[in-house]
Amino acid sequence: QPDAVFAILDQAFMNGPEPRLSTRVLSGLAKHRALDLCLLALTWHDMHKYELNKYHYNAGLDACARASRWTKALHLVAMMAHRKVEPSTITFNSSITACEKACEWERALLLVSLTFQRKLESDVTTGNAAISACQKASKWGEALQLFGWIEESTIEVDTITFSS
């Protein structure tokens, strides 16, 4: 199957790199929960030395979150760091969500701490996913600490925050 995917990408990009098309392809694969195809497309771009930016990686991370594949998400975050691609709030939110869906609460909290270290703005998704990860693992103390942190921050809360 990788050869077929690579052949399709070879045709689509026969005129060279097109970052917006790359983003659309990767986002479309993520939306359709085609994680393996999305990762193959990222590999293909890398093999052809096409620039991969945070939007491309974020599409891959979205696919990881939709598929609950936290190890793949953390691998993509590590690849971004290795290639000096600056992560965004979306980068971490997708990674935290992948961890949350897989009940990997400790890793979710680690990612939340990285958002602070990098001075990235956290948002309602950051807090909700992390609290939900703690809730799924019955880590109520940690969930309450996160809730307290959210209340002290500028992060807006919603019904999901309270119901988690």
3-state secondary structure 27-78: HHHHHCCCHHHHHHHHHHHHHCCCCCCHHHHHHHHHHHHHCCCHHHHHHHHH
- pLDDT grade for 150, boundaries at 50, 70 and 90: low
Average pLDDT over every residue of 85-96: 94
What is the model's pLDDT at position 156?
64
Whether 126 has a pLDDT exceeding 90, the answer reads: no
What is the model's pLDDT at position 66?
93
Whether 116 has a pLDDT exceeding 90, the answer reads: no
Whether 106 has a pLDDT exceeding 80, the answer reads: yes
**Mean confidence (pLDDT) of the chain:** 87
Contacts of 121 (CB under 8 A, 6+ apart): 89
In the chain, % of residues over pLDDT 70: 90
Going from the C-alpha of 141 to that of each of 134, 145, 152, the distances in angstroms are 9, 6, 17
Q: Read off the pLDDT of residues 4-53 as tens digits, 9 standing for 90 and up.
A: 888 999 998 988 889 999 999 999 999 998 999 999 999 999 999 999 99
Average pLDDT over every residue of 118-132: 80
Q: Give dist(CA 153, CA 47) in Å, integer.
A: 42
Whether 155 has a pLDDT exceeding 70, the answer reads: no
- pLDDT grade for 88, boundaries at 50, 70 and 90: very high
